[in-house]
Structures are given as C-alpha cells and as structure tokens.
Structure 1
Amino acid sequence: MATRALILVEGHPRLGLQYVQTAKRLGLHPITLSADPAQYDYLSAENVEAIHVDTDNLDSLIRECTRLSSSCDIAGVTGFSRADESACVTAAKLCRYLNLPGPNPTSMERCCDKFAQRQLLARAGVPVPAYRLASNATEVERSAAEMTLPVILKPAVGSGSCGVRLCRNVDELAEHTAYLLGNKHLWRSSPRILVEEFAQGLYYEADIMGDEVISIGTAELWPPPHFVFREVTYPAPLNDNEYKCIADVSLACLRALDLGWGPTNIEFRWTKRGPVVIEVNPRIPGTPWPELVRLAYGVDLIYGHIKVVIGDEPDLPRRQSHTATARLLVPDHDGILDWIDGTRAAAISGVAEVKFYVEPGTPVARKGNYRDYIGHVIAASPSCARTEAIVQRAVDSIDGLITPFPTLGEQ
C-alpha cells in the first residue's frame, strides 16, 4: 500500500509541531514544502521530510507534488498562515489543481484582503466598522477626516496585527501613515491601507469548522495604540441569547464570504449595535487558542482540520467542563533575555502549560504585534474565578531577567 502523505505548504513556529504529530497519529506521512525549511526547528526534531521549493510559485509546487505522487498517495494539502496568509491561498489553489478536498481559492483570496472582505460583509448586511481604502497620505488624511478620529490604520493584507495601530490624533495619524508608507513595513504589492472606525466593546471570537460553531471565547488586550492580546478565556461568559447572536452573525459571515469549508476564526467587538465583525480569518488561530479550545471543550481543532483536509468527517463532539485561560507573556521593556524559568509556575495545580517562545540570549523588542509574545501560561479548572487565580499565581511565579539595551552614552 502506498504511503499516504499530508503536504504542508510552509510551516509554523508554534502550530507546526502539533500538525506533524497529529498527522503521524492519523497514520499520515507529513511532508513540508518550504522556501526555507531550516527555519522550522521541529522538522529535524521530528524527522519530518522537508523539501526546498519556492512556495510563492504555484507551478513549482505543482511540479513537486506531481513528482511526489509517483511514490506516495497525496491524501491532502494545507498551508500555514504567514505575514500575508499567502501560503493558505496557495495551498487552496494547489488542492484545486490536484482535485483534493480544500476551500474555494477565490473565496480565500478575497477573505485575506481585508478591504474586499469588508465590502462583501457590508453588502450582505453583516455589521462591520465604517471603513475607507487609501493608497497614499492624502487619501489617509481625507478618509480619517470623513470618519472622525480616533481611527485604526491597518494594511489591507496581513495578519498578526502587523502594522495595525489606533490613531487618536492627527500627529499619530501622520506618524503611522509615514511608517506604513515608508520602508519599515514590508509590502508584497502596492501599499493599500484600510482606515477603519474604532469599534469599542468587549472582544469575542468564534471558532468554526465547516459550518458548525465549535467554540466562542473572549479576550483582553493590552491598552492601545496597538492590539496585542493579554489574556484569552474559553468559553466566553455568554447567556443563551448572546451566544446565539454571535453564532448567527458568524454563519452570516460564512455565507457572505462563500466559506464554510474547514476552519474559520471570526473576531468581534460587542458594541452598542451588538456584535460587530472585526475580522474573518479562514484558518485556525495560532497558539495558544487551539490548546484553550481543547481544554475547555475537549475539541482538537488541529485533528479536525486534518480530517477535513484528507476528506473525512471532522468528528468533533463537545463536552464543555472547564474554563481555560491563557496569559500571553509580553516583556515590560526591550533588551536581552538573559534567562527565564517557569519551573515553579508549571508545578502549580491547575496549570496546564508553561511555554516560552524565545531562548536565553535572544533580543526581545516590542513591536506592537504578535512578535511581542515571549511565551504563555495556560490554566484550566471548573471555575472561571479559580482559573484566573491560578493563571495569576503562575505568572507571578515565573523568574527571569531582561537586561535593557545599552543607551547611546553607555556604548
């Protein structure tokens, strides 16, 4: 019998290991196609087959998969989110070419363009913040004046809150516009900036597999101007009407964007209008979200995703029994991480995981996006209040030292 292979377009520094381990558990042979396989440490650690290929070139991927199909049975293909989520779109196109299960590539492409996404949602009557599209400083200034400050500026294509900032006055607006249009933000195409109303209210997100809402969580963010998560909790404390309202809007998003295959993650703010859609992501959210869903609901999103990718039913029965909370660790100042130790934190009853993303000796610098995170602590218990207390105690138990970068006069 031919080996059944799961093709992974690119990898992921935090989720990638879980994908390859789950694939192996399902009897699949994971193969990673990457422009730089060496950047994913888990590939060598897990002895995963990795092939160097230009993952921005669909023809190159097709040729590689055609070659692989002569020696193995390609059961499915999926891709990981990058800064612009292009690998997810490319994987969808590859599935279409190989006649494998996968999302609609056109729908994925439109969804990954925040302006196109906003247009489709608004036309379908889904509540979204007011928005404008700008390509230069004059258009940004005019759009902000039409909407009144504060506004959010963000790249029309991107993920992980990269380049996203709340601009509360004209100086901040001019500063961030210059940042986005200068050489500091990486654009893969011509600059397109979304100028968006600042929707204020509690943050929620829904995780969907196919057309089924699996879980709804809530989160706190660090104070503006950036949008960096501080703490995430599943399940969100909602009454039946609130849950139904978020679930109904979530399914309306799928219809408006022609999604409904595989995983979708939808972010909301609960405003005076009710749940307003901030963003629809056609993928599983990154670490530690899947771990929280598993602890709170007993659902393994990665297992379910791979099952769908290979054409099987996801089989995701829920059994909510715990409240799971993650505290995202962010340095309080920039510098060199000399050392960090979570031994005492991990030993606390109720702590499910203490994980650090950076090694001692690594420079840490806050950028106002997902790269600020240096680790997380996860706790779970039957009580929301108890879980919060466990997380706080664990965070307080972490030892470490960050030496500030020397100032100009000290060098």
Structure 2
Amino acid sequence: MPKKAVILLEGTKMGTGQLYVQAAKCLGLHPIVLSADPARYNYLATENTEAIRVDTDDLDALIRECSRLRETYDIVGITGFPVPGEAVYATVAKLCRHFGLPGPNPASIDQCCDKFNQRQLLAEAGVPVPAYRLAANATEVESAAAEIGLPVILKPAVGNGSTGVRLCRDAGELAEHTTYLLGGKYIWQTSPRILVEEFAQGPYFTADIMGNEVVAVGAATFGPPPHFVYDEYIYPAPLTDDQRTRIVDVSLSCLRALDLNWGPTNIEFRWTERGPVVIEVNPRLAGSPDPQLIQLACGVDLVTEHIKLVVGDECDLRKRHSQTASARFLVPDRDGTLDWIDGADQAADVPGVAEVTWYIKPPRPVIRKGDSRDCIGHVIAASPNHQQTEVILQLAVDLIRWSITPFATHDE
C-alpha cells in the first residue's frame, strides 16, 4: 500500500516550514517539499525531509511533478507555507482544485493577493478600511496623497512582509519613497502599481482564523517609523470584551466580503477613533512566531489543524489552557558584518522562555531594508499573565549580545 504523503510547496526561513514538516510527521504523513531552491532551507536536512527542486512559479511544472509523485505515493493533501506569501498559496489552491484535494477557493485567494482589489471588495461590503487610491506614476502618487492628506502609507499593490511599505509624513518623504519604488531599486512582482493609503493611527491587532472561527487575537508593536519592523508580539491581545467582540465581528465580515471560508486567514487591524480598521487580509496562516505563540497561549496548534484540513480530516480548535505568550524580535541598529552572537543559551535557560531562535548565523553581512527581513531572531516567553511574561522576556533579551562591524567606506 503506497505511503500517505502531503506535498508542501516552497519553504520559509523563519521556522514555519519546519513546523509544517514536524506536524505532518506527527500525523503519520510523509512530507515532501517542493522548492525552487531546497538548499536555502537548513531544516530540510535537519528533519531528513524529501525535497525536490521545481520552479514554484510554474503551475504546469508543479502539476507534472505532483502527477509523478502520485505514481509512488498516495498524495492526500497539498499546501504551502505562509511565507513567501499569497502567490504561493494561490498556486496551492489551483493545485488542490486540479487534483480534487481539499483546499481554498483559487478565485478567493487570487482576489486577496491584490491589495487594491481587496480594498475595493471590503469597502463595497461596508468593512472599515483606510482611505485609499491606486497610483502608477509619481504624479498620481502626489495627487492621491493630496486628496487623502499627509501622512500616508505607500505600499506595492502586491507583496508581503512590509516589503516596500513606508510611512510618508511630508512631501520630501513621499517623493523619496516614490522614487525608490519606481526608480528601479524596488523589484516588482507585477507591473508597478502603488497603493496610497491613509495612515490609520492606533494600536495594532491581528486576528488568526481557521475556517469561520477566530481562534486568537494578538497585538504587536513596531520599531521607529517610517518603517514597519516588528518589535514585539503578544497573545492574547490586552483587549476589553467589547473590543474583542468588535474585532471578531469585523473579521467575520471580511471573510464574507472576500469569500474566504476554508482554512487559515490572518487579518491585521489598527484600532482608530472609528474602532477596528482593516489594514490587510492575508488568506493564509501567519508566519512564525505567531503559530508558536498561539499554541503557548491557548493550546491550539494551528499548523497541525491546518494539515488536518488539508488531508480531509476535521480540525479541533478547542482551547486547552490560558496564558500570555509574547515574542521579542531581535533587530540590529546598523548595517555591517554580524561577527558574533553571545548569550543565547543563557537566555534560553531563563524560566518561562520557550524559544530563542536565530534566522541567520555569523559571520554574515547585515543590510537593513526597513521591513520584516531586518529581524535576525526572536525570543519567546510565556507565563500566566502579561506582566510576568514581559519581565521574563526582558531578562532573556538583556542576556543576548551581538557584534556588528560597520562596512568599510570608500573614504577609508
């Protein structure tokens, strides 16, 4: 009898790929990773995981490879990792549809991938979103910003991980970032289309959903503007019952507006004077460390439950306990060569610390880009309450040190 296998498309450097591989094995499945460059992912060797090189942007090539694998294995499910993002998950949806396997609606995923299209659908459904305009050149950007009023957010209409996203507080910053996006430095996934958006000011929250159920609501803080680099995540978010109810209600409105009713969804909010305003709907599971935090906070393993859905089983979203889990991101304050890291083992030994993870290893050049790629690691802690978790995190982070030697300048 052929071995039951699950195909996992692409991979991620931030730990979620390894979580999927481990969860698949725990469910008695044989994970097979399809990636454009398997050598990028160290966990494949660590987990002794079968990996096949294939162009993950080529749907026909993926169909051929999956068909070939079906000659050897009983392929019971196909899914993809949250990062690099919605484009991979849209491909996953098409593969599931082609092979008659459980999966999301490809059309629903596709319409979410374009942030402008997503904004229009949400606005038409009466979901609170920031004011927005679409621009294709510098003149249109300037005009849109004038209509909305500074400050504004400029972001590519397609993308993830805050790549290319910047807060523009005045005309100078607006012109500078427009030049960056349109001047050849930014690598576009599609034809250049910029979303010019009202800066919805207020605390940031995120809702993590499976099917039609909001499993958890978290909060996050960011480093200094004009960029949006995560500083800390916490689950559950410190909300009143009324605030949580309003976020859940708006989340369910998003699902209806975008026809998302299968599998994981992650929705980002800002709590403004209007209440919860939707910043983005991601038709996928949030990347690491969100799944680990949710499991520590309430006992629901979203990665495992997602795989259950993928292979046609029922998922179990019952909460098993209640505590506060938080992640502090480790972000360098300069560009240069990361020479060494120290104190990680001592930090991991602090009672209450669940995880100390590095995304890169020294020696390694560090070039900050003003997005999620700036993070070089994270520390996760959990305890019965918010205050205690913050104390644990700070104790651990204070033990960690690293050295970055600035790049030599031409003047030297």
Matched residue SS, 1:128:
coil
Q: For 1:240, give the aligned amino acid.
A: D
Residues 72-151 of structure 1 aligned to structure 2 (within 5 Å): 72-83=73-84, 85-151=86-152
Say whether 1:238 aligns with 2:239. yes
Residue aligning to 1:345? 347
Residues 84-233 of structure 1 aligned to structure 2 (within 5 Å): 85-233=86-234
Residue aligning to 1:313? 314
1:227-286, CA deviations, whole angstroms, 9 ceiling, x for partnerless residues?
Answer: 111011100111211111100100000000000210000000000000000000011111
Structure 1 window deviating more from structure 2 (200-209 vs 341-350): it is 341-350
Q: For 1:125, give the aligned amino acid.
A: G
Residue aligning to 2:71? 70
Residue aligning to 2:258? 257
Report % sequence identity: 66
The answer to whether the Cα contact below 8 Å between 1:11 and 1:80 also exists between their aligned partners in 2 is yes
Residue aligning to 2:47? 46
Residue aligning to 2:384? 382
Q: Please give the TM-score of this superposition, normalised by the length of structure 1.
A: 0.98
1:299-320, CA deviations, whole angstroms, 9 ceiling, x for partnerless residues?
Answer: 1110011111111111121134
Whole-angstrom distance in 1 between the partners of 2:85 and 2:105: 18
Matched residue SS, 2:379:
strand
The answer to whether the Cα contact below 8 Å between 1:228 and 1:369 also exists between their aligned partners in 2 is yes
Whole-angstrom distance in 2 between the partners of 1:229 and 1:55: 28
Residue aligning to 1:4? 4
Residues 12-51 of structure 1 aligned to structure 2 (within 5 Å): 12-13=12-13, 14-51=15-52
Matched residue SS, 1:77:
strand
Change over 3 Å in CA distance of 1:72–1:83 after alignment to 2: closer
Q: Which runs of 5+ in 2 are unaligned?
A: none
Structure 1's consecutive aligned runs of 4 or more residues displaced over 4 angstroms after TM superposition are none
1:323-349, CA deviations, whole angstroms, 9 ceiling, x for partnerless residues?
Answer: 111101100111111111212211111
Q: For 2:363, give the aligned amino acid.
A: G
Matched residue SS, 1:409:
coil
Q: For 1:366, give the aligned amino acid.
A: R
1:80-133, CA deviations, whole angstroms, 9 ceiling, x for partnerless residues?
Answer: 244553111111000000010000111101111100100000000000000000
The answer to whether the Cα contact below 8 Å between 1:83 and 1:158 also exists between their aligned partners in 2 is no
Following superposition, the deviation at residue 45 of structure 1 comes to 2.2
Whole-angstrom distance in 1 between the partners of 2:155 and 2:30: 39
Structure 1 window deviating more from structure 2 (238-247 vs 80-89): it is 80-89
Whole-angstrom distance in 1 between the partners of 2:398 and 2:215: 32
Matched residue SS, 1:226:
coil
Say whether 1:398 aligns with 2:404. no
The answer to whether the Cα contact below 8 Å between 1:80 and 1:88 also exists between their aligned partners in 2 is yes
Following superposition, the deviation at residue 11 of structure 1 comes to 1.1
Matched residue SS, 1:43:
helix
Whole-angstrom distance in 1 between the partners of 2:194 and 2:59: 27
The answer to whether the Cα contact below 8 Å between 2:86 and 2:282 also exists between their aligned partners in 1 is no
Whole-angstrom distance in 1 between the partners of 2:211 and 2:50: 29
Structure 1 window deviating more from structure 2 (29-38 vs 149-158): it is 29-38
1:341-370, CA deviations, whole angstroms, 9 ceiling, x for partnerless residues?
Answer: 212211111111111111010111211111
Matched residue SS, 1:304:
helix
Q: For 1:246, give the aligned amino acid.
A: I
Q: For 1:353, give the aligned amino acid.
A: E
Q: For 2:228, give the aligned amino acid.
A: F
The answer to whether the Cα contact below 8 Å between 1:84 and 1:157 also exists between their aligned partners in 2 is no
Number of residue pairs aligned between Structure 1 and Structure 2: 410
Matched residue SS, 1:293:
helix
Residues 224-303 of structure 1 aligned to structure 2 (within 5 Å): 224-303=225-304
Q: Give me the CA root mean square deviation.
A: 1.1
Change over 3 Å in CA distance of 1:241–1:320 after alignment to 2: farther
Whole-angstrom distance in 2 between the partners of 1:189 and 1:252: 29
The answer to whether the Cα contact below 8 Å between 2:269 and 2:278 also exists between their aligned partners in 1 is yes
Change over 3 Å in CA distance of 1:85–1:266 after alignment to 2: same
Following superposition, the deviation at residue 294 of structure 1 comes to 0.7
Q: For 2:346, give the aligned amino acid.
A: R
Q: Which runs of 5+ in 1 are unaligned?
A: none
Whole-angstrom distance in 2 between the partners of 1:133 and 1:282: 22
Structure 1 window deviating more from structure 2 (32-41 vs 192-201): it is 32-41
Whole-angstrom distance in 2 between the partners of 1:275 and 1:137: 31
Whole-angstrom distance in 2 between the partners of 1:191 and 1:81: 24
Whole-angstrom distance in 2 between the partners of 1:33 and 1:326: 29
Change over 3 Å in CA distance of 1:261–1:278 after alignment to 2: same
Matched residue SS, 2:411:
helix
